[in-house]
Amino acid sequence: MIRVKPSWRRPKGIDSRVRRKFKGCILMPNIGHGSNKKTRHVLPNRFTKFLVHNSAELDLLMMHNRKFCAEIAHNVSTLKRESIVEQAAQLKIGVTNGSARLRSQEDE
């Protein structure tokens, strides 16, 4: 997905080729086709992702496990990942990246 940098400002010069949209010049961003607000940020499995850093944040999803699923943050260690995945299974909360960076039995 191509995004506009925060420093981008709309050209306002009277002779600006970009503002006048000449062929071969830099394109200006358009609003485009946004998705429906009800389905925005919804995964194909009809869950909305909730970023989890520790097992205490997993308790927030206990009553909402039919609408939200957990996604473990990228900077969570392997040991804490194991405990988060274990607790999510007990609370019947789905985890999108539950198998990421988990040690297999052979490594231990």
Residue predicted with more confidence, 102 or 24: 24
**pLDDT higher than threshold 60 for residue 66:** yes
Residue predicted with more confidence, 61 or 4: 61
Which range, of 2-11, 51-60, 79-88, averages the lowest pLDDT?
2-11
pTM: 0.69
**pLDDT higher than threshold 80 for residue 106:** no
Identify the bridge partners of residue 51 per DSSP, sorted by sequence position. 71
Q: How far, in Å, CA of 56 to CA of 52, rounded?
A: 9
What are the residue ranges spanned by the domains of the chain? 35-108
